[in-house]
Structure formats: C-alpha cells, structure tokens
Amino acid sequence: MIERVIRAAKAVGAKNFVIVTGYRADDIKHHLGNGSKLGVSISYAHNQNWEKAENGVSVLAAEHLLKGKTFLLLMADHLVSEGIVARVAAASLSEAACALGVDFRPKNVDLDDATKVEVQNGKITGIGKGLSRYDGVDTGVFKATSALFEALRTAVKQGDSTLSGGIRVLTQKEGVAAVDVTNSLWCDLDTPADWRRAQRLLLSSLKKPTDGPVSRLFNRPLSTRITSLLVRLPLTPNGLTLISFLLSLVSAAFFACWGRLGSLLGGITAQVASVLDGCDGEVARLKYMETEYGGWMDAVLDRYGDAAIFAAIAANIQTIAPHPTALPLAFAAAVGSILNAYTAIKHDSLFRSRMRFRFGRDVRMFLVMVAGVIAFFVPSSLLLFLAFIAILTNTVNIVRLIRHAYHSRTSPQ
C-alpha cells in the first residue's frame, strides 16, 4: 500500500520522501530501502512512542528533515489517486499555512470513523471525527509548511496529539485551505472490508472514456477480473501485450488451416485475445508501469493482429468456398481497420464528450467471433462478413474525416 502512495506522489513530480516509521520499522526499511527501486529518494524518521501517541506525534518526528520546507503529507494507509495529489500539490499557500484535500460528497467512506471538516469561503473552520455538522471529509492529503509543526506542538500541550488537533490550531491562526477533490478516487484502509472495497474501486477505475460498447458491457468486466489475478504475478504489461498478439496469430492460424472448425475456434480465440488486450493497460495503470513505448507497441501489434486475422479469413474462404472477391475484401477490411485505429486518435480527442457509440477494435473482434461461430454452420457467411467490415470501417473513417473537417471550419482559430 505504501508503494502505491509513493508512486502516486512520484507521478505528480515528488522525488524526495520522508517515511515516519513505528510498527515493524525495520521491515519497512528493508522493503523500501533508499527508494532507488521506485526511482525516488527515501529518508526515514521514527516515532519512538508509536504505540501510545497519535499521528500528530509521527508528523513531529519528521520535523528535523522538513523544517523550513513546504511539503506534501500523505497517509500510508490511504488509497489516493494521482488526481487528488496533483490538486493538493497545486494549491496556493499564500493565504494559508496548510491545504487539505476535501471530499464534499464522500461515497466510499465509513462516516462514523471519517474525519469530518467544516468549510467556509474555501477555508477549513472545523475538523474532527465527532463533528455533527460538516461539509466534507478529510482525505488525508495535505500540503503544509513548517507552521504545521508549531501547531502540532501547541495541540500536544493542550492534550491532543492527533494531526487533526494541529490542523485545528492552524484554523485559528494562519488558516487551512480546503481543496475540492470531490469525485476523485480515494479510500481509508483500516479493516479487511476497507481493503476489499479499495480493490473494487481500483478495478472500477480502470474503465476508459473511450471504451466501446463491447468493452463496456463485456470485455472490461472480464478483463478486470483477469487483471485482479495477473497483477499478483511477475508479468509486465508489455509481456501481456505479446501474449495477446500471439493469441491473435493463433486465431489467424485456426481460420487459415482448419476450415469450418477453424472458423469457430478462430472466432472464439480472437475474442479471447481482445479481452486480454485490455489487461496489459490495466496492469500498467495498477502497477504505475505505463510508458509511451508500451502504448505504441500495443497499438502496432494490434494492427498486425488485425491484418493477420483478416488475411486468414480470406484463406479460409478460398479453402471452403472460393470467391474472387475474398482477397480484395480482406485487404479493404484490413486497411479500414488499421485506419480506423489511426483516425480514432484525433477523433477521440475532439469528440469524446459527445460520443454515444465508438466503433473500435472491441467491436471488430466481437464481430469476428460472431462471424466465426456463424461460419461454422454457414461457411459462405464469412465473405459477407468481410464485405460488411470493409464497408463499415471505411465508412466510419470517412465520417470521421468529414466531422473533423467541419469542426476545423467552425472552431475558432
């Protein structure tokens, strides 16, 4: 869990980390070391009184490493998205000594245990678990100055060693800014039930706004379940991309070599490859292993896989029910599919908010499966399928070109 917190902060530019240890301090140090394996620098402080003192004392334990600096303060037992960390990190402290990410519409929170906050005019006026009137919930993501340490010492003298106690003192002095992070992914992990909820939240967050209808309704629900298992294995996203590509080649081999049975097996294998094609990106996002090369490699191999499958379908037709249009139609379908992926890049960036139906690889591979199953009973249907895909993909590409041209003319320069 602590690695996810570090990676989320690293993703928004953090390079130097201070970890305050308590329970099993040596195990944590042994696991994380100096941070080199995560690409960051880690220093350690230790709360000697961790068994009795509250979390405010843990923050004070790091004062000698952070004094005079502005820093982010994160909880190791909170699942937080990069978005929350980025928003809080960008908060201005010109009129406050501290900023806190606040969820004004908490959804996945045990409100009885949550730290609640009152907010007026963008400033926190009250904080605590026992507030009867509150406006939002503390997400455990702070941006702070050294003033926090003095506030914590004041709170400890008053008998309150919690971090909330220090924040409460700051609200009476320099002030604490409330940063709205509503609708962002976060979760406080205190119990096994919280852990299970966090896993569900992470998996649900893997959906993409560009998912087509087959991905939304069929592929993504399956791929996220597979990913929940794959993420525990020492598999890289690029390795999964290669496996998905190899399955596409297996699908092509079935179509090309096994006649009617090959149509059935090839169609099913193409759909399996399509489902697995979503797992590489999901694993990459879960493990913070996304790279530009990985996305490019995935796109290139998808195009090769598509071309192989359509060529194999043409070979299947020539074996079972030869027709002179099979190869030209396969070529048109392959070109249309490749350009469909290319035109989608610009189209998605311009019209994402207005898309009702997105025709992409998920739909194409699902149609390959349907065609393969039907062809097992009606072999001649594969020719109609190639014609349908050739017409549909190229029509979609032309429509996208027209929409883009219209958008270019009507949009202000």
181-203 per-position pLDDT tens digit: 999 989 888 888 888 888 888 89
Better-scored residue on pLDDT, 107 or 154: 154
Band (pLDDT 50/70/90 cuts) for residue 179 is very high
Helix %, strand %, coil % of the chain (to 5): 60, 15, 25
Give yes or no for residue 409 having a pLDDT over 80. no
Quote the pLDDT of residue 1. Answer: 80
Straight-line distance from the first to the last Cα atom of the chain, in angstroms, rounded to the nearest whole number: 46
Handedness of CA 325, 326, 331, 335 (dihedral sign): positive
Band (pLDDT 50/70/90 cuts) for residue 111 is confident
Quote the pLDDT of residue 201. Answer: 87
Band (pLDDT 50/70/90 cuts) for residue 389 is very high
Classify domain 2-201 at the CATH superfamily level. Spore Coat Polysaccharide Biosynthesis Protein SpsA; Chain A (3.90.550.10)
Quote the pLDDT of residue 325. Answer: 96
Question: CB count, 10 Å around CB of 18?
Answer: 18
Give yes or no for residue 75 having a pLDDT over 80. yes
Quote the pLDDT of residue 214. Answer: 94
Q: What is the mean pLDDT of the chain?
A: 91
214-251 per-position pLDDT tens digit: 999 999 999 999 999 999 999 999 999 999 999 999 99
Better-scored residue on pLDDT, 347 or 285: 285
Quote the pLDDT of residue 109. Answer: 83
Q: What average pLDDT score do residues 348-376 get?
A: 81
- In whole angstroms, how far apart are CA 171 and each of 129, 372, 386? 16, 66, 68
Instruction: State the Cα–Cα distance between residues 61 and 261, nearest whole angstrom.
Output: 69
If residue 318 lies in a helix (H) or strand (E), which one and from where to where? helix 292-320
38-63 per-position pLDDT tens digit: 999 999 999 999 988 899 999 999 99
Quote the pLDDT of residue 337. Answer: 93
Quote the pLDDT of residue 197. Answer: 86
Closest CA to 372 of 323, 291, 309: 309
Quote the pLDDT of residue 28. Answer: 95
User: Which fold is adopted by the domain 206-410?
Assistant: Four Helix Bundle (Hemerythrin (Met), subunit A) (1.20.120)
Q: Is 376:263 a contact under the CB 8 Å cutoff?
A: yes
* CATH 3.90.550.10 domain extents, the chain: 2-201
* CATH 1.20.120.1760 domain extents, the chain: 206-410
Task: Indicate the pTM of the whole model.
Answer: 0.82
Q: What average pLDDT score do residues 64-71 get?
A: 92
Instruction: State the Cα–Cα distance between residues 99 and 138, nearest whole angstrom.
Output: 11
Give yes or no for residue 95 having a pLDDT over 60. yes
* Percent of the residues in the chain that have a pLDDT greater than 90, as a whole number: 73
